[in-house]
């Protein structure tokens, strides 16, 4: 692997082999998502606890201070919207690799929609993106997306999607956690796997439990957004999650960190 590729991956995946990516890219098809209406405000208190942020070029330029030193994962696919839910799998490439390099991105990311009518186009888009990214030493992260079909998220489907993304050359794969068989998803994928959170769930503990379990089963960490920044206590949430990822905290210990930070006691992850 060339120096540039290794260096960029090292900016994202920390020396302990783990990663906490903070995605704020949701507006690219959802519009002004709840609590992400002003992305610059949303990330202000929590950015320092993330290892990287994932976002589009529009939000990067408009909402992130260029003196920010957090690595950028630039979303480079899109072209669809929630107004046409049945066409969410029709994403194309929206942003060039040249632009990603101009923006000093550490990686680019795009969605693939395995099992959807436009599976073929999105997989070929990933292949083309990887061809270009490899030329410049910039990692491509594949997002195994399901559009509005959240019920698709079982181990068999996720293993298929992750493996295909890796076979096509993604350097990192983002997928969903599933309770049954998640170890098979990770085992079948020869590149690092990070987990998305999906829509906000009812309790913090549910998040801590799935992050912990996913890591025990081989995931290197998360690319987790809504369950952090839609929380009423986003700092407590990200610090608790960080403790699981980088300090091997158990869900119970993470819950305690959450409660402490929430109540102002402030014990927490580094």
Q: Kindly list the residues in this chain that would bind ligand 5RP in the complex (CB under 6 A).
A: 23, 25-26, 54, 143, 145, 196-198, 223-227
Dihedral angle, C-alpha 186, 256, 21, 229, nearest 10 ° = 120
At closest approach, how far in Å is the CB of 173 from ligand 5RP? 12
Q: Tell me whether residue 174 is one of the annotated catalytic residues.
A: yes
Rank residues 112 and 145 by Cβ distance to ligand 5RP and give the closer one: 145
Q: What are phi and psi of 110, to 5 degrees?
A: -150, 155
**97 near 133, Cβ under 8 Å?**
yes
Distance separating alpha carbons of residues 167 and 245, to the nearest angstrom: 26
Rank residues 188 and 198 by Cβ distance to ligand 5RP and give the closer one: 198
At closest approach, how far in Å is the CB of 219 from ligand 5RP? 13
User: Which residues contact residue 161 at a Cβ distance below 8 angstroms, ignoring those fewer than 6 apart?
Assistant: 112, 114, 115, 144, 175
Sign of CA dihedral 218, 221, 55, 95: negative
Q: Which of 35, 152, 174, 262 is catalytic?
A: 174
Q: Which residues pair with 77 in a beta bridge?
A: 93
At closest approach, how far in Å is the CB of 129 from ligand 5RP? 15
Rank residues 62 and 263 by Cβ distance to ligand 5RP and give the closer one: 62
At closest approach, how far in Å is the CB of 264 from ligand 5RP? 26
Query: Which tokens go with 53?
Result: 């942020």
At closest approach, how far in Å is the CB of 174 from ligand 5RP? 7
Query: Which tokens go with 159?
Result: 């293993």
Rank residues 2 and 37 by Cβ distance to ligand 5RP and give the closer one: 37
Rank residues 135 and 197 by Cβ distance to ligand 5RP and give the closer one: 197
End-to-end Cα, the chain, rounded Å? 31
Rank residues 112 and 269 by Cβ distance to ligand 5RP and give the closer one: 112
**246 near 18, Cβ under 8 Å?**
yes
At closest approach, how far in Å is the CB of 258 from ligand 5RP? 17
Distance separating alpha carbons of residues 181 and 178, to the nearest angstrom: 7
Within its chain, how far is the Cα of 5 from the centroid?
A: 19
User: Which residues contact residue 134 at a Cβ distance below 8 angstroms, ignoring those fewer than 6 apart?
Assistant: 5, 169
* DSSP secondary structure code for residue 175 in this structure: E
Residue numbers annotated as active site:
174
């Amino acid at each position: 692997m060339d120096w540039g590729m290794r260096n960029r991956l090292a900016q994202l995946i920390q020396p302990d082999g783990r990663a906490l990516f903070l995605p704020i890219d949701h507006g690219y098809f959802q519009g002004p998502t709840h609590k992400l209406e002003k992305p610059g405000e949303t990330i202000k208190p929590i950015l320092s606890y993330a290892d990287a942020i994932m976002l589009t070029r529009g939000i990067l330029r408009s909402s992130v201070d260029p003196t920010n030193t957090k690595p950028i994962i630039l979303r480079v696919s899109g072209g669809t919207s929630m107004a046409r839910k049945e066409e969410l799998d029709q994403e194309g490439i929206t942003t060039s690799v040249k632009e990603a390099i101009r923006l000093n991105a550490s990686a680019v990311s795009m969605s693939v929609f395995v099992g959807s009518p436009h599976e073929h186009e999105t997989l070929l888009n990933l292949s083309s993106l990887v061809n270009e990214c490899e030329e410049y030493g910039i990692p491509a992260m594949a997002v195994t997306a399901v559009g509005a079909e959240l019920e698709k998220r079982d181990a068999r489907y996720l293993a298929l999607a992750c493996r295909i993304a890796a076979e096509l050359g993604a350097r990192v794969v983002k997928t969903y956690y599933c309770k049954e068989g998640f170890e098979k998803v990770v085992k079948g994928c020869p590149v690092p796997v990070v987990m998305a959170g999906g829509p906000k769930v009812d309790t913090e503990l549910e998040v801590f439990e799935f992050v912990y379990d996913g890591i025990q089963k081989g995931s290197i960490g998360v690319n987790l957004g809504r369950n952090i920044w839609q929380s009423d206590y986003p700092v407590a949430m990200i610090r608790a999650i960080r403790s699981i990822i980088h300090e091997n905290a158990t869900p119970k210990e993470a819950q305690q960190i959450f409660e402490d930070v929430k109540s102002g006691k402030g014990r927490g992850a580094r």
